[in-house]
Chain A
């Protein structure tokens, strides 16, 4: 099956700094990637849809300037949490689809746990 890898798996940073999380599709080209956020004991909340070569589509309530998404190649999407604050601490998960448009089956990364001190 298709493999999606996230890096780093854990990151701790000071308040006010920016953190970049990478999401790579290892053995396939992903025209569409999705970024989710998961709070403890809660479900996955879609933050944005990242399309290669175009601007990301953000969900309502997600700050574009806070969570910068770049999908510069067919195998890499990055999420940058800018000027991170303790309330940004969360588990961030990316997923990738083999198809543009309808998602069909999604392949998930391992997730990245961000802790902002």
Chain B
């Protein structure tokens, strides 16, 4: 069965500090992985997907098949990064992790 685990429900870092949101998945096939973000009072939206290998708003995520992980990273956090982040796995339908609420302190 496919599963996505985000071990941290809450993560708080200071502005300018590096941030890493953890995501581990369980899937026997070849996964497609995504990070979705929900800013305060806004709808859920795609942040990035592993196949595009791009950096969005300074965030990157690398798929590590050996560790079955897809951690989201940013070297210098900004206050506007405060949001709810969901890791998602897609075999035929999106399976979401529990989400991590990231708070950037000034």
| CB < 8 Å neighbour of A102 from B46, B92, B95 | B92
A110 CA to B93 CA, complexed, in Å? 20
Scan B3-46; emit 1 where CB is below 8 A from any A CB, else 0: 00000010000000000000000000000101000000001111
Decide if A108 touches B97 in the complex (CB within 8 Å): no
Decide if B97 touches A43 in the complex (CB within 8 Å): yes
A66 CA to B47 CA, complexed, in Å? 33
* Closest A residue, CB atoms, query B94: A103
Decide if A46 touches B94 in the complex (CB within 8 Å): yes
**How distant is A47 from chain B, measured CB to nearest CB, in Å?**
11
Size class of the contact patch on chain A = 20 to 34
* Closest A residue, CB atoms, query B46: A105
| CB < 8 Å neighbour of A34 from B9, B32, B94 | B94
| CB < 8 Å neighbour of A46 from B44, B45, B46, B95 | B95
**B residues with CB within 8 A of A:** 9, 32, 34, 43-46, 49, 86, 90, 92-99
A-B contact pairs, 18 of them (CB 8 A): A43-B97, A44-B96, A46-B93, A49-B93, A93-B44, A95-B44, A95-B94, A102-B32, A102-B90, A102-B92, A103-B94, A104-B90, A105-B46, A105-B49, A107-B45, A108-B44, A108-B45, A111-B43
